[in-house]
A = this chain, B = another copy of it.
Amino acid sequence: MSDVSLPDVAEDDLYGPDNLPYGVYTTDAAPDRRRIGVRYGSWVLDVGAAAAAADHPWAEVLSAPSLNPLLAAGRPAWREVRAAVRSWLTDAARREQLAADGLLLPLDASVTLHLPFEVADYVDFYASEHHASNLGRIFRPDSEPLTPNWKHMPIGYHGRAGTVVVSGTPVKRPSGQRKAPDAPVPDFGPSRRLDIEAEVGFVVGGATEPGTAVPQTALRDHVFGVCLLNDWSARDLQAWEYVPLGPFLGKSFTTSVSAWITPLDALDHARTEPPARSHELLPYLADGEGSGVEAAGLDLRITVRLNGEVISEPPFAAMYWTAAQQLAHMTVNGATLRPGDLFGSGTVSGPEVATRGCLLELTWAGRDPVELSTGKRTFLEDGDEVTLSAWAPGPNGTRIGLGEVTGRITPAA
């Protein structure tokens, strides 16, 4: 760790000059004034004020109370701002000046992080073959685990944008209709099968005009960055409601995202080939040889902690469908993108039990409880806290931190 009394970072800091994630913060001194911050080690740069002081052309966009205007500005702006911020922060004299001017602040208890952007539309995918197969076995034991369409398209659905919250927001246990398979009718009450889904979220910037399909190769023109996402799920509500129109109340109560958005440009060293494709893909989704799409997977290493104990380490590199394919699919019908659109990868699960991204899979629907030092868990109990964190390979053996997303369950009543 760097000495927080000086605005510097160690070479192995997860938030060094090759990361530079964006967030939105307030300080105790000005609790009503939301500002865009760039994280540098254990410091946060007031990037709007720094840009204004430097007479930077994007200073106005960076002085907004959310990331949306920067998202709307598009990739040329994202690159210019990133290069400028990097140049400021890697200049020790300038750093000290920024700290002296009060524009580079310690990330301490006087700083509060907020939801960094207003979510426009939120789409959630289902891109892990391991997760989709496991859920198929659990929810539809009499059918093939994967539906016939699964290998032909990234299956997704729209979620509730208005209930996306920032890391740290309490998660109230939802109530709803629950029906045991052998019960004649549903009853009503707090969810008894409250679960997590460890996901990666992609934050959309560059908008599109109606009728525009975005090719996979244009991913970087439209996706600004990456966050961690916990798609809290009430499995009992979901199981009873989801046929035929998909998940609704089982998901819509809360979705938590990390406070820091890591620019896609910070993840160049994490690019990797996705798994081999077992089915030939239609041209707009093809990403093999000759497709012009290169290494669209991402090697992100996720850790899931329940009450501080590691319960899973899902590997994002195992995801079958890439963000580029998800973006291409989501727009191939001409649907527009808006700044602030968010799409989730779907639960990240690897092939082994200890790499599964939700309790439903980890405990096989409650059959095999997770052992914690404080007791067993099948699904979440009131007071439980779940934290997802992640890192990605950076240049020269460094690591890029993806922050964390955490939430604690509060009682239904």
Contacts and interface: CB of A to CB of B under 8 A. Distances in A.
A111 interface: no
Contacts of A140: 244
Q: Helix, strand, loop or mixed for chain A's interface? A: loop
Contacts of A152: 177, 185-186
A157 to B, nearest CB: 4
Contacts of A234: 333
B336 A249 contact: no
A157 B160 contact: no
Given A244-B246, A282-B188, A332-B175, A121 B153 contact: no
A245 interface: yes
A393 B321 CA distance: 52
A244 B155 contact: yes
Contact of A333 (B186, B237, B332, B335): B237
- Can you tell how many copies of this chain the complex includes? 2
A237 B282 CA distance: 14
Interface in A193-217: 210-211, 213
Contacts of A272: none
A247 B179 CA distance: 24
Interface string A357-375: 0000000000000000000
A248 interface: yes
A126 B163 contact: no
Interface string A274-317: 00000110111000000000000000000000000000000000
B283 A126 contact: no
Interface string A229-270: 000001001001111111111101110000000000000000
Contacts of A139: 244
A389 B369 CA distance: 56
A325 to B, nearest CB: 13
A335 B163 contact: yes
A176 B332 contact: yes
Most chain B beta carbons < 10 A, residue from A241, A244, A246 = A244
30 contacts: A121-B160, A121-B161, A140-B244, A147-B243, A149-B177, A149-B240, A149-B241, A149-B243, A152-B186, A155-B241, A157-B246, A158-B158, A161-B161, A174-B334, A175-B213, A188-B282, A188-B284, A234-B333, A242-B244, A246-B246, A246-B247, A249-B330, A249-B335, A250-B333, A252-B330, A252-B333, A252-B335, A253-B333, A253-B335, A254-B334
Given A155-B248, A243-B244, A246-B246, 19 more contacts: A136-B244, A149-B186, A152-B186, A157-B157, A163-B210, A172-B211, A172-B334, A174-B333, A187-B282, A188-B283, A237-B333, A242-B244, A245-B246, A245-B247, A249-B329, A249-B332, A249-B333, A252-B330, A254-B334
